[in-house]
Structure 1
Amino acid sequence: MIRKTISILTAIKPTEDKEEWSVTEISRKLNMPLQTVYRLLGCLTDVGFVVRDRETKKYKLGLSIMELGLSIRDNLSVRNTALPIMEKLASQTKESVYLTVPEGHDGIFIDCIDSPQLLKITEPIGMRRPLCVAASKKVILAFFQTKKRQKVINKLDKLGLVSSKEDLLKELEIIQSQGFAISHGETTEGTVSVAAPIFSWENEVVGSISVAGPEHRFVGTRLHEFIKLTTRASCDVSEELGWLEQYN
């Protein structure tokens, strides 16, 4: 069934000459029974992967599948753009540097430059955590557009992941006003993380860059320097992605 569904999505991919397809055309093209095509198109329409024109009764790819493809592209673009800047930041701080992107109500580490020091923070690539936990995730949540942020918070609260919505909202306001987030031991005890948001050319937050390490190395002037370097790095990545608006 999955193969048939993929076959339909591939079959109705727009070309220079054609954007919409009838059920009969799809059935003939794939040598698939009409009833099967109807059923699968119905499922794909329900999730927005396919849309049906009310006048022509024909089908075409929907915005949901376009958004899915664009999200993959954006994540790859963020990673490719951020990597050299992350390497520079890691060299400057001598601490571990992470790249995090949002997916649903979670944040996912998609790349890391490990600290050269013996005592360091090592989190696995692909690790998923709620957007209400730790600096690298909270800074993304803080800079979501209002409706999206509220939707994510409601979801997290429904899942029992938020102890106090009021406290979380206050913390997110502070993060947004200062342009960065700091967390102490929220993921790993005895550690500190400093994170700043990454924006796309559309001025939407698409990820975060963070520096993490043992708590005793994140104190005083050293912490202030890490904040400065991290926010500068996030600006550099954002500008490479076409972001124009600056924040303090």
Structure 2
Amino acid sequence: MQNINKTVVKSMKLLDLFRTRSSLTLNEMVELTGLPKTSTHRMIVSLEEVGLLQKDHTGTYSLGMIFLEFGQLVSDRIDLRQLALPIMKDLRDEIGEAVNLTIKDRAEALYIEKLDTSHPVRLFTKVGRRSPLYAGACSRIILAHLSEEEMENYLKGQALLSYGEGTITDPTLLREVLNTSRLEGYTVSHSELENGTTALAAPIFDYKGQIAGGLSIAGPSDRFDEQQLAKMIQKVKASAAKISHALGYR
């Protein structure tokens, strides 16, 4: 910390203002940061020179177009599985149950990573497995956080078939569960894809605030009593939030 460049830090303080504001004047930046006007102006000129800020004909500043280029480069280079894996390992080691990572692939959920439990009795799931978006916590958490239009288009064209004794096949009930999942930030399923199983999942968001995938814990139902579920829900939500943060979600 002793070698930190104070000018760089102050410049980032200026750029950080544009997270919540599309444009600002010099005076507004001075007022919001509390930095001296003279030094603020020098930093703005430098930021404009390298393309990080741009000024319009009224003298108002906004983020430079170079951020589009950098943003796309970062987006292209992000590997969700690679970012999620160490967080998944910590979660699995803490709770002792299988942890799954899913993404949306067309009209299905696709398992792109799985860490098994150490228990001798376990669920059969593998990387590459697919499941319908409406069935099972790991799938439904993605469906719950799609846009209203995308969700409705899916539900209108999807036959709700039963995979287990707990599969939700009533469209009205499914919509209620989806709405609750969106509000509470998690979902739980019991015997939806396989009888005798329980799963709970939380959403993962990308830097645009859009759903990027789902993180779930799953296992035999007899290991998921109410007390255990309450603890696991908080842990899976916290782990999903860490992955979202790594993807740039704020």
* Superposition TM-score, scaled by structure 1 size: 0.65
Change (3 A) 1:210 1:160: closer
Verify: 1:122 aligned to 2:124, yes or no: yes
Aligned-pair Cα RMSD in Å: 2.2
Identity %: 28
**CA–CA distance in structure 2, aligned partners of residues 134 and 175 of structure 1:** 12
Per-residue CA distance 1:190-231 (angstroms, 9 max, x = gap): 110010000000000010000001111111321111111100
| Amino acid in structure 2 at the alignment position of 1:165 | P
**3-state SS of 1:80 partner:** helix
**CA–CA distance in structure 1, aligned partners of residues 161 and 122 of structure 2:** 31
Q: 1:149, CA displacement in angstroms?
A: 1.2
| Amino acid in structure 1 at the alignment position of 2:200 | V
Verify: 1:241 aligned to 2:243, yes or no: no
Which residue pairs with 1:230 in the alignment? 236
Which of 133, 147, 159 is the aligned partner of 1:145? 147
Which residue pairs with 2:186 in the alignment? 180
Which of 221, 226, 233 is the aligned partner of 2:227? 221
Which residue pairs with 2:136 in the alignment? 134
Q: 1:155, CA displacement in angstroms?
A: 2.3
| Amino acid in structure 2 at the alignment position of 1:208 | G
Q: 1:121, CA displacement in angstroms?
A: 1.7
**CA–CA distance in structure 1, aligned partners of residues 229 and 151 of structure 2:** 28
**CA–CA distance in structure 1, aligned partners of residues 169 and 118 of structure 2:** 36
Q: 1:98, CA displacement in angstroms?
A: 0.2
| Amino acid in structure 1 at the alignment position of 2:207 | W
Structure 1 residue ranges without an equivalent (≥5): 1-69
| Amino acid in structure 2 at the alignment position of 1:90 | R
**3-state SS of 1:122 partner:** coil
| Amino acid in structure 2 at the alignment position of 1:187 | L
Q: Which residues of 2 match residues 64-83 of structure 1 at below 5 A?
A: 73=76, 77-83=79-85
**CA–CA distance in structure 2, aligned partners of residues 98 and 241 of structure 1:** 18
Q: 1:147, CA displacement in angstroms?
A: 1.1
**CA–CA distance in structure 1, aligned partners of residues 170 and 232 of structure 2:** 29
**CA–CA distance in structure 2, aligned partners of residues 120 and 197 of structure 1:** 23
Verify: 1:200 aligned to 2:206, yes or no: yes
Contact 1:130 1:156 in 2 (8 A): no
**CA–CA distance in structure 1, aligned partners of residues 150 and 193 of structure 2:** 24
Change (3 A) 1:217 1:163: closer
Q: 1:160, CA displacement in angstroms?
A: 6.2
Which residue pairs with 2:106 in the alignment? 104
Contact 1:96 1:122 in 2 (8 A): no
Per-residue CA distance 1:41-80 (angstroms, 9 max, x = gap): xxxxxxxxxxxxxxxxxxxxxxxxxxxxx9x958x62111
Change (3 A) 1:122 1:160: closer
| Amino acid in structure 2 at the alignment position of 1:130 | P
Contact 1:142 1:173 in 2 (8 A): yes
Extract structure 1 runs of 4+ deviating beyond 4 A: 159-162
* Superposition TM-score, scaled by structure 2 size: 0.65
Which of 71, 91, 94 is the aligned partner of 2:93? 91
Per-residue CA distance 1:171-198 (angstroms, 9 max, x = gap): 1011111110100011121110010000
**CA–CA distance in structure 2, aligned partners of residues 127 and 198 of structure 1:** 19
Structure 2 residue ranges without an equivalent (≥5): 1-72, 163-167
**CA–CA distance in structure 1, aligned partners of residues 181 and 103 of structure 2:** 17
